[in-house]
Structure 1
Amino acid sequence: MSVKSDKLEDQRSSGGASVAKKLVPYGGYYTNKVPGHDPELTGTGPGTPMGEFMRAFWHPVCMSIELTDTPRFLKILGEELVAFRDGSGRVGVLHAHCVHRGASLEYGAIMEHGIRCCYHGMVFDVDGACLHVPFPKGEEKEAQKYACSIRQGAYKAVERNGLVFAYMGPPEAEPPFPEWEGDFTVLPGDELVPYSNFQHCNWLQVQDNAADNYHPTALHAGKNVVNERYQGTTFDEVGAASMEVAPDMHFVPVQQGRSLACAGARRVDKDRLFVRVQHQVLPNLSLHAYTSEDGSKKKLFSRFHIIRWTVPVDDENSKMIGWRVMGPGIDTRGVGDKSLVGYESIDFLEGQVAMRRPERFGQYALEDLPPIPPDHREREHYKDAQYAPGDYEAIISQRPIAVHALEHPTRFDAGLFQFRKMLRDAVRGTNAAASARAFAEWFREQGGAPNSYCSGNVFEIAEGETVEEEVQRRRMVTRRIIDILNNGESMKGAERSTFVRNSFEELEQSMKR
């Protein structure tokens, strides 16, 4: 046996997965053991660190259109729930299993006030109170006594612009509902259009994708589609080459480590620089600037285009649920299609979510879902997805729960790793400002309407004469943009918008001198 072989045998017997083993040609044997996932961040059930942290926030749980004349079964944060709108118009979100004998309220009857269990007729109000117990006539006092002794698990719910939100934490610690920037700064003529897309994987890898501003250069580039087999999938969605340019990224924790500003500079052409600032907010909110920017015209401090939460269903499933901002104020190119935005449908990345696969919900009615074959690789649209994979395929194919220990990150992965660190700091209490209690207090201080760093900008800034000068120019611009947004944190509304736009104008002029 050679010295090299002896060394490898010693490494195998000692059990360590060394760099030497990993770099051996055809050395799959040395990397075939898959370690466990990262439960501190990926587990969200009751009693888990991340699950308890998430329960301190409001989350969208379904769309308003899902509340029909029958209860809607849901699974959120590992809990089985039913959502419904009673005859008086109130929305209830209750534990699915009746507190009496465990029958599911998904088969219950919606009443004028509350919901009636199908099994024995118990009626529960939206706050969980038992309104009626069907005891025999003459036993009304006993029935009332029994009704006062039980309570169905319930969560407070509110509706906003076609979405149903629930607070699933301790009722005594309920935070204000965060109306970011006062209804998300929708310009006159624009509107918040709700949507919901199921993701067949853990919540964190979906949220990671939102912080990964580098992947569009490959995943959303039409040039990478096999033999131009688009199969109805929208690539080059920006309408220009700018999104295929590798961005120069600058990641900055802001708002005392409660959120992350992700500024990416892309060169549109030799005269214009496109700088897009995404905003990631703990634990699972992301705010995105215009996705269809072609960079053809100057634009300063353009606001929200996508607002979304990544909501855990259980540890191996999640939802992307939020609003797509539609209208001429944000969609300056007029490429949005409102008719495609809704339940299991979205217009801006057709084919990039599960809607491409009708066996994965698609645009079927809730009651008409076709059977799911046992192997997803045998499904009707599997080959189409291979020709033109999108976010959905890239995200769910990381395994049902991505294994962080097997990752080998590069510099451009810095945003998602920074966000993971911020999550850990919040969960562990190593950043007191990001604790659930501090978050709630901050929301109150902000009047329930904190500022977002999200913005899309096209600057008339010429390309540097050398590569070195261009790199320096891009990085200087992204840093100064974040500085300006930081300086405007104490301002609100029109005052802040005017300050930021004027400061961006000064930045552009300074780069021309």
Structure 2
Amino acid sequence: MTIKQEKHEHKTTAGGTVHKLIPYGGYFTNKVPGHDPELTEVGAGTPTGEYLRRFWHPVCMSMELTDTPRFLKILGEELVCFRDGSGAIGLLHAHCVHRGASLEYGKIEKNGISCCYHGMVFDVDGTCLRVPFPEGEEEEGERYRCSIRQGAYKAFERHGLVFAYMGPPAEEPPFPEWESNFTCAEGDELVPYSNFQHANWLQVQDNSADNYHTMALHAKRQVTGEHYQGTTFDEVGAASMEVPPDMQFMPIHGGRGLACTGARRSDEDHMYIRVQHQVLPNFSLHAYTSEDGHAKKLFGRFHMIRWTVPVDDLNSKMIGWRVMGPGIDTRGIGDKSMVGYETIDFLEGQVAMRRPERFGKYKLEDMPPIPADHRARENYKDCQYAPGDYEAIITQRPIAVHALENPTKFDAGLYMFRKLLRDAVRGTNPNAGPEKFAEWLREYDGAPNSYCSGNVFELPVGRTKEEEVTLRRYLAKQVVFIITESDKMRGAERTSFVKERLEALQQEVLARRQA
């Protein structure tokens, strides 16, 4: 053994795997342990699958409901979704309870859907409305009709998305209308989108709690050979997002969520404090993604709202709304025409199908399939030049292996969120259990307040490195404390309170600096 090799020691990873830190030591790390089934597997009867089923989730976009049923897989279950002739939304088990033919080939009726195989008609709640028995055998047909029921889940539409509750009917929670309608400024609107991800749901959710990755993945300097494609934040001129943020993470709402603060300098006179809000089990609210940070702004609100919805154990959807309009998009960067099914108006690499304008001539049902093998994509080389979130997420393996991870301090948010989730699933975080969660929502009349905000303070850079670090960490914590103080307030009263307190915070820091 050389002297250089002797200096290396054994190392234990987060998952307990021990290997030698020696050059060319791949042999010692070539065994891949299993994934974490408790948090990643979502089928019926699994711990996390049962937990997820106690919450409302978007399952598709309204535009996906046409004159034929829409086949879906959600939480590992094969389903069909449709809007019947009365306008009611149906979400039924795909396989007909009679003989198992798929209702995706059924005919949408004035009320419900009829199976293509034998014509049985089912209402949106699963009730069998008609069985076509021969004339003279109506009584027998009626008895049979009353003996069967198609599996069904309650569903409704909101702002272009279809939401469903897939748990026990008696345990249905309120639908969470965050801050009453998810928008916070007059003139803003919710624009729906849905992006398929060929990866387990949890690593997609992890990405939303990882606010540090923007400084690399979304930076032009990461693009090979300057093959720049507009897949990064450079596209919208928000260079502030490429500055490594000082991250802090605080459990909020009794362990039901996490406030993720990122403090960074946008220039020598402005400090940008961005607060992302992660909510159990799979929801997140994101502050303005195009913030350049060169002008004072206090309590900027939602810009992106999304759920990470498991399709099955190996696939998932990012589905939610982009908030569009002058209230949030103060720089006028957003492009509503690019927000929708498998498209988004920023970070082209968020989605599997890049360059959405290529597909503008297609109808939804004619859209080219997204290859499950990311290396088989037509634009694979482009993705290598300028990778985005999609590439980073799906290449962690179909299900990320947590035992092989070696986290840093800026990964603390996603590990904290995983712990909150695990404790909720196990019942050791009772506030986040389905029953207590539903009670908490009712306390807010189904409309709780969010910590999500973007804040730009007019504060000169610290005189020393130590002063600058102290300043940014103090500001970030105080922003969260102030938002916590406002939690029982509503609407304009809350907005006014938070802005006044943030203004006072800035003046306090300035006065301290001048003393």
TM-score by length of 2: 0.94
The partner residue of 1:179 within 167, 177, 180 is 177
Distance 1:373 1:349, change over 3 A: closer
The corresponding residue for 2:32 is 34
The one-letter amino acid paired with 2:422 is R
Deviation at 1:372, TM superposition (A): 6.4
Q: 1:374 and 1:302 mapped to 2: Cα distance?
A: 38
The corresponding residue for 1:336 is 334
Q: Is the 8 A contact 2:233 2:290 kept in 1?
A: no
Alignment of 1:51-450 (within 5 A): 51-237=49-235, 239-356=237-354, 364-370=362-368, 376-450=374-448
Q: Is the 8 A contact 1:58 1:167 kept in 2?
A: yes
Distance 1:198 1:297, change over 3 A: same
Deviation at 1:384, TM superposition (A): 0.4
The one-letter amino acid paired with 2:448 is P
Q: 1:430 and 1:503 mapped to 2: Cα distance?
A: 35
Q: 1:4 and 1:294 mapped to 2: Cα distance?
A: 46
The one-letter amino acid paired with 1:226 is T
Deviation at 1:22, TM superposition (A): 3.1
Q: 1:283 and 1:361 mapped to 2: Cα distance?
A: 33
Deviation at 1:231, TM superposition (A): 3.4
The one-letter amino acid paired with 1:231 is Q
Q: 1:357 and 1:44 mapped to 2: Cα distance?
A: 32
Distance 1:339 1:361, change over 3 A: closer
Q: Is the 8 A contact 2:249 2:413 kept in 1?
A: yes
Cα deviations by residue, 1:435-486 (Å, 9 ceiling, x for unpaired): 0000011111110000100001111111110000000000000011111111
The aligned length equals 504
Q: Is the 8 A contact 1:211 1:280 kept in 2?
A: yes
Q: 1:501 and 1:374 mapped to 2: Cα distance?
A: 47
The one-letter amino acid paired with 2:321 is W
In structure 2, runs of 5+ residues without a counterpart are none
SS at structure 2 position matched to 1:183: coil
Distance 1:344 1:378, change over 3 A: closer
Q: Is the 8 A contact 2:215 2:243 kept in 1?
A: yes
The one-letter amino acid paired with 2:286 is H
Q: Is the 8 A contact 2:183 2:323 kept in 1?
A: no
Distance 1:47 1:374, change over 3 A: closer
Deviation at 1:375, TM superposition (A): 5.0
The corresponding residue for 2:20 is 22
Distance 1:2 1:472, change over 3 A: closer
The corresponding residue for 2:472 is 474
Identity of aligned residues (%): 74
Cα deviations by residue, 1:397-447 (Å, 9 ceiling, x for unpaired): 000000000000000000000000000110011111110000011111110
Deviates more, 1:361-370 or 1:71-80: 361-370
Deviation at 1:376, TM superposition (A): 3.6
Deviation at 1:88, TM superposition (A): 0.5
Deviation at 1:28, TM superposition (A): 1.0
Cα deviations by residue, 1:62-93 (Å, 9 ceiling, x for unpaired): 00000000000000000000000000100000
The one-letter amino acid paired with 1:75 is K
Distance 1:450 1:372, change over 3 A: closer
Q: Is the 8 A contact 1:355 1:363 kept in 2?
A: no
Q: 1:241 and 1:115 mapped to 2: Cα distance?
A: 52
SS at structure 2 position matched to 1:184: coil
Q: Is the 8 A contact 1:290 1:305 kept in 2?
A: yes
SS at structure 1 position matched to 2:262: strand
Distance 1:4 1:275, change over 3 A: closer
Distance 1:112 1:387, change over 3 A: same
In structure 1, runs of 5+ residues without a counterpart are none
The one-letter amino acid paired with 1:474 is R
The partner residue of 2:41 within 36, 43, 61 is 43
Q: 2:156 and 2:420 mapped to 1: Cα distance?
A: 28
Q: 2:57 and 2:128 mapped to 1: Cα distance?
A: 26
Deviation at 1:366, TM superposition (A): 3.5
Deviates more, 1:375-384 or 1:198-207: 375-384
